[in-house]
Chain A
Amino acid sequence: MDPALMSRRIEVQNPEQVVEAFYEKGWTDGLPVVPPTEEKVLAFLSAAGLAPDEILGAIPERNRVFTAEKVAINAVMAGCLPEYFPVVVAAVRGISRPEFGLHGVCASTAGSSILMVVNGPVAIACGMNSGQNLMGPGNRANATMGRALRLVLYNLAGREFDRSTLGHPGKYTYCISENEAASWEPLHVMRGFQKEMSAVTVFAAEGPNQVQNHVALKPENILNTMADRMRALGSFNMGGDCECAVVICPEHYETLMKDGWSKKRVREYLFENACRPLADLKKGGLNESPLEKGDAEKMVRAVSSPEHILLIMAGGTAGRFSACMPGWFSRHMSKAVTEPIGVSCAGGT
């Protein structure tokens, strides 16, 4: 491996000035960054076993290439530790797959963000949070891995392309892991990987839509409430053919498991019930064609297959709050990608 780093060196008076200089140059997400020194960047590359010039991905529509060196610089800036870097590397590889459609995802006025779901031993070894305050602040691994991906998009893919009308807070960071202590198959296993492997799933998504149900003791009723949120008129799931991520919280999971509901069964139930008549779309203004006979019986589904529901179990043990994250635009433009994590911190693959 050739460790020579090719990036331009910038000399500043002290670490505080690095932060200000990077603000001035427009190289941050609006928050302060960790100074990316050569020593730190080399430690990151070493942790992932990568040469600086290795190409991890690209965004061909913009002629932009993501080298390991540049991705490592941005991961340092985000506040990652070296052992997190293989997860960031896998995420960058994932978003660079043609089926992910990165150019549209990070240019669209729809303002989606890239949800990262980390599975396998690496999540535990890096100390990721799959429990309380899952989507919130407080865990370094979750916060900085997701932030690293955003800085990569801003500094390497071209922030000037981001035309989000509103955006959402997940564009700062949007990275979680799954509670794999559950009896359910983890997400990466459902998507074809061995349980003992580590993988990250990347998915262009809206922010989390929280779904509370503190009443239902029947699995169907919990899922009916979830299905109602999944079929909301204003999401792309009702207008197009999108995937949808669903997080089931531990209390809801316990109720489902009492009656032996597997992930497969939950996905099939949500697929069947997350739908509404075409007439609703017309009455709700999402379709301006005149109402026709039969529209009340013609059902429009939130997802076109149970497999298009990315289902995970995670969140705090208290509270009956689950969530769904509707997808971006259409599966024809972007599909979720699960990428194996090649080199990980202790125990991973």
Chain B
Amino acid sequence: MTVIVLDPTNEPVRTSFKKALRPENLAGLTLGLIDNGKKNSDYLVKKIGDRLKGLYNIGGDILVKKPSPSHAIPKDSAEALAERVDVVVAGIGD
């Protein structure tokens, strides 16, 4: 006798979003850095920022610290950062 059972899994909800346009050249743009709050994350993103500045003549390195590594950056922080910078480096693991 066959048995019919139900699939217990789901799939991520597909959402559409528009990617920001990628600049063709970083020279003269302002860089933003997002520190996720984990130990040494600030150190690492600053190092990356310094490297980018050295390589591409990119300006600024405005640093925003997330209140929690496992939560998304707060909307107001993201919007404020977007007003001040042209490109952002984010994403740190352990």
Contact = CB atoms under 8 A, between A and B. Distances in A.
B7 A63 contact: no
Given A27-B9, A64-B12, A104 B4 contact: no
The dominant DSSP class at the A interface is mixed
Interface string A11-48: 11111011000100001000000011110010000000
The dominant DSSP class at the B interface is loop
A37 B6 contact: yes
Interface string B1-14: 11111111110111
B78 to A, nearest CB: 14
Contacts of B28: none
A9 interface: yes
A62 interface: yes
Contact of B8 (A17, A38, A70): A70
A108 interface: yes
Contact of B7 (A7, A101, A158): A7
Given A70-B10, A109-B94, A101 B68 contact: yes
B15 A333 contact: no
A291 interface: no
Contacts of B6: 5, 7-10, 36-38, 41, 73
Given A12-B3, A14-B3, A77 B8 contact: yes
Interface string A273-310: 00000000000000000000000000000000000000
Given A104-B69, A332-B68, A333-B71, A37 B9 contact: no
A9 B4 contact: yes
A18 B9 contact: no
A35 B70 contact: no
A329 to B, nearest CB: 8
A61 interface: yes
20 contacts: A5-B6, A7-B8, A8-B7, A9-B6, A10-B4, A27-B9, A60-B72, A63-B15, A64-B10, A64-B13, A66-B10, A98-B71, A101-B68, A101-B70, A101-B71, A103-B70, A151-B8, A155-B8, A333-B69, A333-B71
Interface of A: 5, 7-15, 17-18, 22, 27, 35-38, 41, 60-67, 70, 73-74, 77, 98, 101, 103-105, 107-109, 151, 155-156, 158, 330, 332-334
The 5 closest A-B pairs by CB, nearest first: A104-B70, A63-B12, A8-B7, A7-B6, A73-B8
Interface of B: 1-10, 12-15, 67-72, 94
Given A70-B10, A74-B8, 5 more contacts: A35-B5, A37-B4, A65-B10, A70-B9, A104-B70
